[in-house]
A and B are shown apart, each in its own frame.
Chain A
Amino acid sequence: MIILQPRKHVSLRLTIAVPILSVLVTLVLGGVIFALLGYNPVQALYEFFIAPLARPDQIGNLFVKACPLIIIGTGLIFCYRANVWNIGAEGQLILGAMGAGWVALSFPETESRFLILAMAVMAMAGGALWGLIPAILKIRFKTNEILVSLMLTYIAALLIDWVVRGPWRDPMAFGFPLTRTYPDAGLIPRMPLPGIGYLGQLHWGVLVAFIVAVAGWFYLSRMLGGYKIKLMGDAPRAGKFAGFHQGRVTIMVMMISGALAGLAGMIEVSANIGMLQPHISFGYGFTAIIVAFLARLNPMAAIAAGLVVALAELGGDAAQISMNIPKVVTGIFKGILLFMLLAGETLTRYQIIWIGRSQKSATTQKIEE
């Protein structure tokens, strides 16, 4: 018989080791899957995880890929710390991109530097609004935020689909569902690195991602607001006793994570696409959930976690091109990784105790007597 017993003390070493171990086990299992599919596992893993980093410009692209994951993941950490389960970052991202797009398309001739700031503000407002809906429904009607936020994602996807085919479509796009391209002032330029110059597609949004993660870490670990969030997640009764309001914290974290998802959507479009189209995100809002957990709900660690997950995404593309490995394998990788993380999380908090067979059979004998 197997029993899970809570650990009295969880060491720091274990806390750090478990995510690393989870990644390693995922790699081993991935290798087994490649072998079963008939690919050389060593070569496949190389293509997946080493090849995408072979050239400096590819490293830049890795950061570009990780950028939305880090920003959204940081926002989700706020929610999950407060025990509020926002699954709808994808929809909040879309609303953010639409908010920014509305500003950019409304001022096609402007050259003002403030355009990009206004776009960021509107993006965050749009995302926050989309996050506010499940928060208010949860507080007012006790609805489940997992369900509501997820369903709002589909509404957001249909909404952007409609605007790019209807009111916002570029009349010169030959019937393609695309908006006009943003004015230059609404685009995010590439970021030169001192002494290196441009590195792949590395853009200024990546710097924003780093700032967001560090600021999120500071807020959660050093500020009273972050303390409130953790308190409401860990012990809501104690939070109420301290004089905080659960509803306000729920609204706050949903709006923060919505705003950050919206910001990620704006950066993604302004840096990489330059216009709105039906699909602007490769599921970043969902992938960021894995990032939040891989980071063990620490925004600082979300940087590393975002890079690891981005690597798996890029590796999927590389392996598809060079070895004809289907792209869905990336999804399998993400699935195994999340599974391993959750298992690791459990094993961090509990230890497995085996109750020996001899003892067990003795038990059954006694009962039969």
Chain B
Amino acid sequence: MTTTHPAHKTSPPPLLAGFGITKRFGDLVANQNIDFAIQPGELHAIVGENGAGKSTFIKIVYGLLQPDEGHLEWQGKPVTFSNPLQARAMGIGMVFQHFSLFEALSVMENIALALPPDFPKQDLSALIARKSAEYGIPLNPETVIADLSVGQRQRVEIVRCLLQEPTLLIMDEPTSVLTPQETDQLFDVLHQLAKQGCAVLFISHKLDEVKQLTSRATILRGGVKVAEVETAKKTTRQLAELMVGDKVKGITADTKRKKGKCLYEVRGLIRPAFGPFDVALKGVSLKVHAGEILGIAGIAGNGQSELMSALSGEWRPDQNGMLFTEDTDISRLGPTGRRHLDLAFVPEERNGHAAVPSMTLSENALLTGYDEDGVVAKGVIQFDQTLAMAQRISKMFDVRQPSDDPLASALSGGNLQKFVVGREIIKSPRVLIVSQPTWGVDIAAAQFIRNAMADLARQGSAVIMISQDLEEIFEIAHSIAVLNEGKLSEIFESSKVTAEQIGLLMGESHDLTSGQIPPKTNRTSGKERGAS
């Protein structure tokens, strides 16, 4: 523990301080006795794993939740925010991780909808153009949201907050959907804001970004504040240790391996867009070999779910000749037929796609296991078998569950993800195809899942991993391709490319300004800019 008292002795009262914030949900203590302070113009991070209490804490700050104990002070005076309206009236703005924008409306219409009723709306479009240009994130107020990239959508949310001249801006996991270039641009904006005196509360579990952007960080673990640190004085590794609680195990892709035979091949896969927001696949080709992990990088919404549905057989092309495992043409086979050929799939969405929240774990084991020997006899489900199957998965993949056979909804996101990935890996498939394997999962669970995939490849299986997390791809993938606007790049050896190069491919032709970004400079850590 570095500091224990939130208020700084000499300086004027902090912009916002929390004292002994406690919040319980039933038996679960989400926040326990948290002290917190942020100064005007400070870039402050809230760091923690999934389930550490970050979201609960910022919801309290933003008035979405009320603390059970403790109170908040705004510029030294006690305040209560019963709802976000009051928090906004005080000058607190928030950009959520999942944007709430209407895709069919324009930038200006979306912003107009979110502004308070008394906000003057004449010249709004000029105001948006001016404000966004001022911060170097130009937005055309007339563009329809559906035409914008995720990064640009985030700018709409940011500009929406900026119009209300906030003194505290909360950013919830803002970089999870951005390319490295977009992240840099975002950090420029946040630095500029801080310079003008607006404090920024940055919620993240990406520690290098925390170090890069912020000057101080409050670290939560299991609902308790374990430390408040100056980020410049800690290494990323030290921060990670504080966050996770014990030593973080790193793994590296073993590069010394010889290429096995090709186990899964896609040849010029074409899939039309069926709805206005579908992304068409425009001739995707790839090969993955025994022992190889192929990482498919790319920003969400560039055809990942469409590619996944084609790889798994949930969607099938009309003619043969597009998908192969070894020499077998599987283009017209559905998921069951492909599973018969020892392929396994883990789609991105846990709830309602890879698993059914309202069913038990054993019933969820049945979802992709009903064709295995002895599980279903003459149409009758052998529940002792499915239960044994679920328990084997839970045991091998360290799925922590409240009872013997709980509903899937009773598991935390990380544990359910371990379950659905484990359900497929435990079958030792020849090819595992997985989308966003560690999305929204805490570090320990993510590491576990990556290890399991690496082990599977080491045993001679091929793995295709669609992921937005570049770090993850570089950590375990042997080869990398980038999916951008329904097109797949060539496949690179991961040892021969840099994150920067991949990031450029990810952002290509997407980003209005990507051609104009200055070369990446080494950023000074935010500490000089912290206090003004």
Contacts and interface: CB of A to CB of B under 8 A. Distances in A.
Interface of A: 8-9, 222-225, 227, 230-231, 234-235, 237-238, 240-243, 359, 362-363, 366-367
Indicate the member of B334, B353, B383 with the most A CB atoms within 10 Å.
B353
Max chain B CB contacts within 10 Å: which of A223, A224, A362?
Answer: A224
Given A237-B352, A238-B352, A223 B370 contact: no
Given A224-B376, A363-B82, A238 B358 contact: no
B356 A238 contact: yes
Contact of B370 (A224, A234, A238, A241): A224
Nearest to A9: B410
Contacts of B240: none
14 contacts: A222-B380, A224-B370, A224-B376, A225-B379, A227-B370, A227-B381, A234-B359, A235-B353, A238-B355, A240-B335, A241-B345, A242-B367, A243-B313, A243-B336
B3 interface: no
B349 A237 contact: yes
Given A238-B354, A242-B370, A367-B85, A224 B379 contact: yes
B353 A241 contact: yes
A235 B356 CA distance: 6
Contact of B367 (A8, A9, A222, A231): A231
Contacts of B313: 243
Interface string B45-66: 0000000000000000000000
Interface in B80-126: 80, 82-83, 85-86, 89
Contact of B381 (A223, A240, A242, A366): A223
A227 B379 contact: no
Given A238-B354, A363-B86, 5 more contacts: A224-B380, A225-B379, A241-B353, A242-B368, A359-B82
B175 to A, nearest CB: 28
Nearest 10 Cβ contacts at the A-B interface = A243-B336, A243-B335, A363-B82, A235-B352, A235-B356, A237-B353, A242-B367, A224-B376, A223-B379, A238-B356
A253 to B, nearest CB: 16
A217 to B, nearest CB: 13
Interface in B321-369: 334-337, 339, 345, 347, 349, 352-359, 363, 366-368
A214 to B, nearest CB: 15
Contact of B356 (A231, A240, A362, A367): A231
B356 A363 contact: no
Given A231-B367, A234-B358, A235-B356, A241 B347 contact: yes
Given A241-B347, A243-B339, A234 B82 contact: no
A188 to B, nearest CB: 30
B86 A366 contact: yes
Nearest to B90: A366
B85 to A, nearest CB: 6
Contacts of A363: 82-83, 86
Interface in B188-241: none
Interface string B284-323: 0000000000000000000000000000111000000000
B250 interface: no
A107 B356 CA distance: 52
B297 to A, nearest CB: 24
B26 interface: yes
Contacts of B345: 241
Contacts of B370: 224, 227, 242
A240 B353 CA distance: 8
Contacts of B337: 243
A7 B380 CA distance: 32
Given A227-B381, A362-B82, A242 B355 contact: no
Contacts of A237: 349, 352-353
A231 B357 CA distance: 11
Nearest to A219: B379
Interface residues of B, number: 37
Nearest to A237: B353
Contacts of A227: 363, 366, 370, 381
Contacts of B381: 222-224, 227
Contacts of A367: 85-86, 89
Chain B CB count within 10 A is highest, among A223, A241, A367, for A241
B356 A243 contact: no
A215 to B, nearest CB: 13
Contacts of A225: 379
Contact of B353 (A8, A224, A238): A238
Nearest to B334: A243
A240 B86 contact: no
B380 A223 contact: yes
Nearest to B312: A241
A366 B352 contact: no
B354 A241 contact: yes
A163 to B, nearest CB: 38
A90 to B, nearest CB: 31
Contacts of B353: 235, 237-238, 241
Nearest to B80: A362
Contacts of B363: 227
A353 to B, nearest CB: 12
- Among A8, A9, A238, A240, the one with the most B-chain Cβ atoms within 10 Å of its Cβ is A238
Contacts of A230: 359
Nearest to B383: A222
A231 B356 CA distance: 8
B387 to A, nearest CB: 14
B66 to A, nearest CB: 8
Contacts of A359: 82
B473 to A, nearest CB: 24
B504 to A, nearest CB: 34
Contacts of A235: 352-353, 356-358
Nearest to A230: B359
Contacts of B355: 238
Contacts of B349: 237
Contacts of A238: 352-356, 367
A314 B381 CA distance: 40
Nearest to B357: A235
A359 B81 CA distance: 11
Contacts of B339: 243
A240 B315 CA distance: 10
Given A9-B410, A222-B381, A241 B82 contact: no
A224 B381 CA distance: 6
Contacts of B368: 241-242
Among the interface residues A227, A243, A363, which one has the most CB atoms of the partner chain B within 10 A?
A243
Contacts of A9: 410
Nearest to B336: A243
A8 B357 CA distance: 12
Interface in B4-25: none
Contacts of B80: 362
A242 B335 CA distance: 7
Contacts of B89: 366-367
A8 B335 contact: no
A336 B368 CA distance: 43
A8 B82 contact: no
Contacts of A224: 370, 376, 379-381
A367 B87 CA distance: 10
Nearest to B379: A223
A7 to B, nearest CB: 10
Contacts of A223: 379-381
A221 to B, nearest CB: 9
Nearest to A236: B352
Nearest to A226: B381
Interface in B369-413: 370, 376, 379-381, 383, 410
Nearest to A355: B82
A240 B314 contact: yes
A363 B349 CA distance: 38
Contacts of B410: 9
Nearest to A231: B356
B356 A234 contact: yes
